[in-house]
Amino acid sequence: MSMVNVDIEASMLVRVQRENFSVDAEIDRVRAQSKRIGGIATFLGTARDRSKGRDVSGISFEHYEGMAQKTLREIRERALKDFDIIEVLILHRYGEIDIGENIVLIVVGAEHRADAFQACRWCIDELKQITPIWKREQTPQGEEWVEEHP
């Protein structure tokens, strides 16, 4: 029974979902893990209206169901192992996203803030490099799949 609970909990800490999310609610999931947490570093990626000098009116994300989640779980586990931190949450949206809306969220809770910042930054850099997620931008010239470099 406790194993089931742990799995449910871990599955909430790494998600790829269509719906928007509340940063407060996601921070609370991390905070609930330990009263030792003193610093929470967060990265929230949002949809910009410009990309490579072009206007962008909307974007959408496609992910490889299963492999994307597996990759994000591995990033979370490596962060927990390699940094002096307490908890990590990684969340990425897919589907249509309006300009200004949330795309991706990393939340890292640690006793000390330097560790939280370092791990948070590592997670978003790593996510961009190894997670099978693709982006399509709507521009005045039409829609286009984007080859983004980290």
Partner 1 sequence: MTLHVKLFGMLKSLVGDQTDVTVALTDGNQVRDLIVLFQAQYPKIGELLLNKKVIVSINHEIAHPETTISSTDEIAFLPPFAGGSGQLRST
21 binds partner 1 (CB under 8 A): no
Candidates 116, 119, 123, 133: give the one binding a second copy (CB under 8 A).
Answer: 116
d(CA 100, CA 95): 15
- Which of these, 16, 63, 47, lies nearest to 138 by C-alpha position? 47
Per-residue string for binding with partner 1, 53-92, x by CB under 8 A? --------xxxx-xxx-x-------------x-------x
Instruction: Give the DSSP H or E segment for 149.
Output: none
d(CA 14, CA 112): 23
- Whether residue 45 contacts residue 125, with contact meaning beta carbons closer than 8 Å, is answered with no
Footprint of partner 1 (CB under 8 A): 38-39, 45-48, 51, 61-64, 66-68, 70, 84, 92, 103-104, 111-115, 124-125, 127-136, 145-150
Footprint of a second copy (CB under 8 A): 22-24, 27, 31, 35-50, 99-100, 111, 113, 116-117, 120-121, 124
